[in-house]
Amino acid sequence: MKETFSRRQFIQSGALMAACATSNNARSFAEAVPASGKPSPIHLGLASYTFRNFSRAQMIGFMKQLNVTDLNAKDTNDHLPMDPKQEAQALQDYAVASIKLRAAGAINFPRADDDDIRSQFEYCKRAGISVIVAGDPAPDALRRIEKFVKEYDIRIAIHNHGPEDRLYPSPLDVLKVVKKLDPRIGCCIDLGHAARAGANLVDVIHEAGPRIHNIHIKDLSSFQSRESQVAVGEGILPISEVFEALIAIRYKGFVDLEYEVHADDPMPGVIASFSYMRGVLAGMGYRTKIG
C-alpha cells in the first residue's frame, strides 16, 4: 500500500519508540505520546490468554502498568470463570479496576446442542459482553448458534487458527460459511495465523469488512513457522498497513494483543508490542487512549 507517513511523522514515531526502548516502565511511554492529534480510530485491547499463567489479580496489575483498560477475557486460570458466583466476583474486580470486558473467548461450540450453546451466551450476557470469539464451532452448529445470536444480540467472531486448523485456517474460510448467516456472525481475524495460512492481510480485511467483529494481533519472524512469534513490531507483519486498512473500512471493534510466547514472563514483549502499536498510531497522527 501507498505509505502515508510524512518524514516528520516517521521521525516522531521512531523517537517515541526509542524513548520507550530505553525504559522498563510502560507508563513512561504512555506519557511520551503527544497529547495533540486526532483520537485514534484503532482501539487497542488485551487478550487475557496472554497472561494465562497468572491470576486475575496479577493480570489487573499488569494492565494498570500497561495503561490498558479493555479486555478480551478467557475462562483460563481465574480470568473469567464460567461458574456464575465466581464470574460475579471477577466482574466486581474488573469494575473496581475500571477494566471493561469487550469480548470473551475463545469459546468452543463443538456440537449443535441448544443447552450447551445457551450456557455460553448466558455466561457472556452476565458479563455484559457483546462479542463471543468462537474457536472452531462445528459447521452443523452454526444455524443453531444463529438462533441465539438473534435472541441475545451478541455477535460471534469465528477465530482462524492457521494451516493446522482443519475447519478455519484463514478468515477466508470463515467468510465462506457465514455469508448466508446473520451479519452478527463473522470473523475474529488472528493476523499471525491468517498470514501463515497465506492470506494477504490488507486484502482480507477489505473483503471481510463489516463481518470483522474482533482482531487478535501478534507478529512473526517467519510466515512458515508458528513458533516464530515475536513482539509486535519485531517481525514481518505489515502493522501500519493493517491499521490503515482497518481505518479504511471504519472498523469499530478492538485490536487485542494476543502474545502467546514467554508465558512465564510475557511483560517485556507485551510492553514492546503496545509501545510499537502506539508509536505507529502516533506517527499516523493519532492520539491513543491512555488509561
Q: What is the mean pLDDT of the chain?
A: 89
Question: Quick check: is 2 in a domain?
Answer: no
pLDDT of residue 36: 61
Check whether 6 has a pLDDT greater than 60.
no
pLDDT of residue 289: 67
User: Per-residue pLDDT tens for 252-277?
Assistant: 999 999 999 999 999 999 999 999 99
- Domain with 259, as residue range(s), is 7-30+38-287
Residues 213-219 have a mean pLDDT of 98
Question: Quick check: is 65 in a domain?
Answer: yes
Question: Quick check: is 67 in a domain?
Answer: yes
Question: Quick check: is 145 in a domain?
Answer: yes
pLDDT of residue 107: 96
Question: Quick check: is 55 in a domain?
Answer: yes
CATH number at residue 123: 3.20.20.150
DSSP string, the chain: ------HHHHHHHHHHHHHHHT-S-HHHHHHHS-S-SEEPSSEEEEEGGGGTTS-HHHHHHHHHHHT--EEEE-SSTTSS-SSHHHHHHHHHHHHHTTPEEEEEEEEE--S--HHHHHHHHHHHHHTT--EEEEES--GGGHHHHHHHHHHHT-EEEEEP--TT-SS-SSHHHHHHHHTTS-TTEEEEEEHHHHHHTT--HHHHHHHHGGGEEEEEE-EES-TT-GGGEE-TTSSSS-HHHHHHHHHHTT--SEEEE---S-TTS-HHHHHHHHHHHHHHHHHTTEEPP--
Check whether 75 has a pLDDT greater than 90.
yes
User: Per-residue pLDDT tens for 37-58?
Assistant: 799 999 999 999 999 999 999 9
Residues 12-28 have a mean pLDDT of 42
pTM score: 0.88
* 79 or 32, greater pLDDT: 79
Residues 182-186 have a mean pLDDT of 98
Residues 173-199 have a mean pLDDT of 97
pLDDT of residue 287: 86
Question: Quick check: is 218 in a domain?
Answer: yes
Q: Taking the chain, what is the end-to-end CA distance rounded to the nearest angstrom? A: 32
Question: Whose CA is closest to 87, among 101, 98, 97?
Answer: 101
Count up the domains in the chain and report the number. 1
Check whether 125 has a pLDDT greater than 90.
yes
Residues 177-183 have a mean pLDDT of 97
6-10, 136-140, 164-168: which range is least confident on average?
6-10
Question: Quick check: is 1 in a domain?
Answer: no
Check whether 30 has a pLDDT greater than 90.
no
Residues 87-110 have a mean pLDDT of 97
* pLDDT band (50, 70, 90) for residue 9: very low
Residues 271-288 have a mean pLDDT of 95
Contact 154, 124 (CB under 8 A): yes
Question: Quick check: is 228 in a domain?
Answer: yes
Question: Whose CA is closest to 232, among 270, 285, 199?
Answer: 270
Share of the chain above pLDDT 70, in %: 87
pLDDT of residue 290: 58
Residues 23-34 have a mean pLDDT of 43
Residues 65-86 have a mean pLDDT of 96
pLDDT of residue 66: 97
Q: At what angle do helices 267-283 and 7-21 cross, to 10 degrees?
A: 160
